Amino acid sequence: MKKYLIWPILAMLSGCQDSFLDVKPDKALVVPRTLADYQAVLDNFDSMNSPGLNLIAGDEFTASFQQFQSWEYVERQAYLWADDLYSGAGSADWDVPYKAVFAANLVMEGAGKLSPGPELSNLMGYAYFYRANAFYGLAQQFAPPYEAASARSQLGIPLKLTTEVTKTVPRASLLDTYQQILADLRQAAELITAESVWKNRPSRAAAYALMARVQLAMGDYESAEKSASASLALSGKLVDFNDLDPAAKLSFPNSPKDANQEVLYYNRMNFYLFFFTPYYQVDYSLYASYGSGDLRKQCYFDTLADGTVFYKGSYAGSFGFFSGLATDEVYLTRAESYARLGNTSLALSDLNALLVKRFKNGVFKPLVAATAEQALRLVIAERKKELVARGLRWADLRRLNMQEAFKTTLRRRHEGKEYVLAPGSPRYTFPIPSNEVSTSGIQQNPR
């Protein structure tokens, strides 16, 4: 009797049970399935941020004892090039780029189920670009500088190419690391066709620009010149600083939507206390290096009441320090490549094309050089002055220190003690956070 009563109810329940239980527990919860879902994952540009500790370790900014005291532990340690940076904690500089890699891999894995078309092609192109950009950022901070001769035997970074979270990979060789970055960028340059009003979505020109940046780091000047030319052919616009208001609190707009026209790809660095006024000051010799009529001095810098010089020229406005790609860098990369390849006039023409937009109207006298060597020195000097706080200086120090002519020793005085970072020091490669080493067992960097 009991059976007769219960079975119809059970049958009724089980009949509709599956669809009844298929309802999402939370409407806001999305399992990414559509092209728009995947695009939204890639648009989370906080997870695309670049490493920022290298700026603290570099020679563009410095700090008083009071300013130093106000930073986080990791910042203080990075500033003094200490043995241990993280005190057992993880580091956003390692974690965030790998978040970007995860997002890119997620899109690449999921895209197979989407219908092909130009939108999908762009989406895939973005994914390749973001992965390349993340790997490049990691390689500049956590892998040794690239030397063609030893790249096969040196360790690069783990090249995680799938979303499986339970599977880890060892560090690839430095050669494989850079080859992977270039392969991803070649895909990106091929797949991206659209220009988006949102500059956090890279353009094809951005893919070539990043390729040029990578090739420069590898010392492959011929390729760097080709990539830079490909990028400038697509987009070579420069901002004329005469159109800027030197008195403005910030020289450039905030949003990736109305970023200035030099921006090819909008990206910024991980946030550190260091980056907030008044927690740092601009290195005096850098500040003093701008000649008269050079508008960058007013457009990039301002002074607090107590004389502290701070930086206001970020292409990300007040949203932090810009670490994306812009045409000014591409001009300088191509100028350097030409100079290295011995083409003095083309090097100077690129350099002057940029600088004429940086000086007060009518003041600028085009630079001249007798030799390619001289032209190269001019380009390297201007590179430091133009690309302030872009997260490029550290990579430049690393590669230039391998050349006798450009070796630089960094020095800091702190609490009566002198700290020195010699060219070629292993401290130009950051230690890998210990939570990575202990969980995946990858090899730590020598310090």
433 touches other proteins by CB under 8 A: yes
C-beta of 358: minimal distance to other proteins in Å?
Answer: 22
Any bridge partners for residue 322, and if so which?
268
Residue 89 touching other proteins (CB under 8 A): yes
Interface with other proteins (CB under 8 A), residue from 95, 119, 176, 283: 95
Instruction: Choose which of 147, 164, 222, 373 interacts with other proteins (CB under 8 A).
Output: 164
Of 112, 115, 149, 165, the one binding other proteins (CB under 8 A) is 165
Give the N- to C-terminal CA distance of the chain in Å, as an integer: 80
Is residue 115 within the footprint of other proteins (CB under 8 A)?
no
Say how many C-beta atoms besides its own lie within 10 A of residue 138's C-beta.
Answer: 27
Candidate list 15, 84, 150, 413; residue touching other proteins; CB under 8 A = 84
Contact flag: residue 137 with other proteins (CB under 8 A): no
- Nearest distance from residue 298's CB to other proteins, in Å? 15
- Nearer residue to other proteins within complex by CB, 246 or 293: 246
Distances from the Cα of 326 to the Cα of 127, 264, 267, 331, angstroms: 20, 5, 10, 9
Per-residue binding letters, 256-295, with other proteins (x by CB under 8 A): xx-------------------xx-----------------
Question: Cα dist. 68→64, 90, 394 in Å?
Answer: 6, 21, 20
Q: Based on the shown chain and the rule CB under 8 A, indicate whether residue 21 belongs to the binding site for other proteins.
A: yes
Does 15 bind other proteins (CB under 8 A)? Our answer is: no
Query: Interface with other proteins includes 417 (CB under 8 A)?
Result: no
Q: Which is nearer to other proteins, 279 or 338 (CB)?
A: 279
Interface with other proteins, residue 408, by CB under 8 A: no
d(CA 106, CA 311): 37
Beta-carbon contacts of 142 under 8 Å, excluding residues fewer than 6 positions away, are 94, 157, 429, 430, 432, 445
Region of 205-213, 292-300, 310-318, 328-336 interacting with other proteins (CB under 8 A): 310-318
Q: Is 249 in the site for other proteins (CB under 8 A)?
A: yes
**331 lies in the site for other proteins, by CB under 8 A:** no
The site that binds other proteins (CB under 8 A) totals a number of residues, namely 84
Between 204-217 and 221-234, two packed helices, what is the crossing angle to 10 degrees?
160
Task: Give the one residue of 34, 193, 261, 318 binding other proteins; rule: CB under 8 A.
Answer: 318
Restricted to residues 199-228, the positions that interact with other proteins (CB under 8 A) are 200
Q: Which tokens belong to 185?
A: 């960028």
**Binding to other proteins by residue 40, rule CB under 8 A?**
yes
**Gap between the Cα atoms of 314 and 301, Å rounded:** 10
Going through 124-238 in order, the beta strands assigned E by DSSP cover 155-158, 171-173
CA distances from 420 to 58, 80, 249, 417 (A): 12, 9, 35, 10
Contact with other proteins (CB under 8 A) among 18, 243, 404, 418 = 18
Binding of other proteins at residue 148 (CB under 8 A)? no
* Cα 167 to the center of its chain, rounded Å: 26
Tokens of 202: 């890279």
Residue 95 near residue 74, CB atoms below 8 Å: no
Query: Residue 66 or 115: which CB sits closer to other proteins?
Result: 66
**Piece of the chain touching other proteins by CB under 8 A; list 118-126, 347-355, 392-400, 433-441:** 433-441
Sequence-ordered strand ranges (E) for 247-339: 263-265, 281-282, 301-303, 309-311, 325-326
What is the C-alpha to C-alpha distance for residues 269 and 295, in angstroms, rounded to an integer?
25
Q: What minimum distance in Å lies between the beta carbon of 54 and other proteins?
A: 18
Q: Which of 306, 404, 417, 418 binds other proteins (CB under 8 A)?
A: 306
User: Should residue 30 be labelled a site residue for other proteins when binding is judged by CB under 8 A?
Assistant: yes
Query: Pseudo-torsion of CA 217, 94, 389, 65, nearest 10°?
Result: -130
- The answer to whether 438 contacts other proteins (rule: CB under 8 A) is yes
* CA distances in angstroms from 66 to 69, 82, 95, 154, 415, listed in the order given: 5, 19, 29, 40, 11
- Asked if 119 touches other proteins (CB under 8 A), the answer is no
Smaller CB distance to other proteins: residue 317 or 333? 317
Least Å distance between CB 350 and other proteins? Answer: 32
- Helix ranges (DSSP H) in 309-426: 327-340, 344-355, 372-386, 393-400
- Which residue of 129, 160, 246, 396 would you call a contact of other proteins, by CB under 8 A? 160
Stretch of residues binding other proteins (CB under 8 A), selected from 53-61, 288-296, 389-397, 436-444: 436-444
Residues in contact with other proteins, shown as a per-residue x/- string from 41 to 60 under the rule CB under 8 A: xxxxx-x-------------
